[in-house]
Structure 1
């Protein structure tokens, strides 16, 4: 398997006491760690659950949540997403490029790329998002507009745990789901890649496809 990122620094296990807010998690050890993921993460960050944290330097914290336990370690630090995605793009791809009213993650040649990280998997089906995301829908609309203008556009979904297939999470965010299917119909390319955490290595598992819509 391909190691795409090796996590540097000290890594250790904690147990969650409470999620103080969207970006802070209090541990049973009384340590408070940064959580770099605005999703709900209800199956991963809840009182008593195991998490892996890594040493980082922040204004209010000295650690960040790296992964949560759900029968396996699931990576939930979204700062790794652009680093991982870049491993699958040309080395000269520009990052954080402004388009319309948004910033898209990458641009190379005449191709624009938006990256989304997915941590929610149910019965082998990867689902995104796990919370309503107007920003995510806006990014899809920008990709659709780029295609209409004759450019190439791609949505790259990084599933941060093994899964068999992917679907947009219609029950959680019907607007995003509608924009997702419209983007594919308009010619936006889709690539879905799954990963897992082995020790301190984030490794590529495989590309996966779309599930049947009826699943």
Structure 2
């Protein structure tokens, strides 16, 4: 995934109203950009540090700029745009980087499924009728030397785990894929200290056959791609 046009740079003043952030540019002017991250962004907000944002030429957008990257106080790059995780996952599957998800003939995005009115991020299928349901999650919370998910209580995430378990019970393959968009994270764990129910559901899902994968994005201000496996610890 490459950023085109090139990202612009500024310094974070603050994030507010969940979807907005004020950024100071090099000429000392201030602009408001869209924040495409619905989570708490715990340990991802560093006021006064560098941010990078993309620009849209869509005239209908009230805020033409989208927040893409944040520089942490330790110099790490953090992917703020959670929507990029699905695109990065698709790219890595199609290029063969995620070896566990090869051997299928078709890839579809955002397919309706399940009993709780859900959409699966990626559905792989083969001519023989085999199906693999993949739920993609962006992991950016770093605490100590470990990455955690989620960064806030997530009823939606809990629902997705239940849906994956149901797919396994119906004879399909189901995968929870953590896309790590933080250069400082190499190990991923469920955040039981933040959402104990999610952690319990995930542990039970694994016991029932749901697979968990974690892959890290090599990020730069020009683009990113999934390159390496991260260790996942239940």
TM over 0.5: yes
Q: Partner of 2:98 in structure 1?
A: none
Q: Partner of 1:85 in structure 2?
A: 89
123, 137, 146: which one aligns with 2:144: 123
Q: Partner of 1:157 in structure 2?
A: 178
SS in 2 for 1:88: helix
Q: Partner of 2:193 in structure 1?
A: 171
* Pair 1:74-2:78 in alignment: yes
SS in 1 for 2:93: coil
Alpha-carbon separation, structure 2, partners of 1:201 and 1:59: 23
SS in 1 for 2:135: strand
14, 34, 56: which one aligns with 1:18: 14
Q: Deviations over 1:87-118 (max 9, x none)?
A: 23357211101112211111122111100001
CA contact (8 A) 1:19 1:46 kept: no
Gaps of 5+ in 1: none
Runs of 4 or more consecutive aligned structure 1 residues displaced over 4 Å after TM superposition: none
Q: Partner of 1:142 in structure 2?
A: 163
Q: Partner of 2:110 in structure 1?
A: 96
* Pair 1:184-2:225 in alignment: no
Map 1:45-84; keep pairs closer than 5 Å: 45-56=45-56, 57=58, 59-70=61-72, 71-84=75-88
Alpha-carbon separation, structure 1, partners of 2:210 and 2:132: 10
Alpha-carbon separation, structure 2, partners of 1:79 and 1:164: 21
Map 1:2-41; keep pairs closer than 5 Å: 5-28=1-24, 29-41=29-41
C-alpha root-mean-square deviation of aligned residues, in Å?
1.7
Alpha-carbon separation, structure 1, partners of 2:82 and 2:206: 24
TM-score, normalized by length of structure 2?
0.83
Alpha-carbon separation, structure 1, partners of 2:145 and 2:227: 14
Q: CA deviation at 1:30?
A: 2.2
Q: CA deviation at 1:43?
A: 2.3
* Pair 1:108-2:130 in alignment: no
Comparing 154-163 with 43-52, which one deviates more in the overlay? Answer: 43-52
Q: CA deviation at 1:46?
A: 4.4
Map 1:193-204; keep pairs closer than 5 Å: 193-204=215-226
Comparing 126-135 with 84-93, which one deviates more in the overlay? Answer: 84-93
Gaps of 5+ in 2: 95-104, 126-130
Q: CA deviation at 1:140?
A: 0.6
Bigger radius of gyration among the two: 2
TM-score, normalized by length of structure 1?
0.90
Alpha-carbon separation, structure 1, partners of 2:41 and 2:54: 18
Comparing 154-163 with 200-209, which one deviates more in the overlay? Answer: 200-209
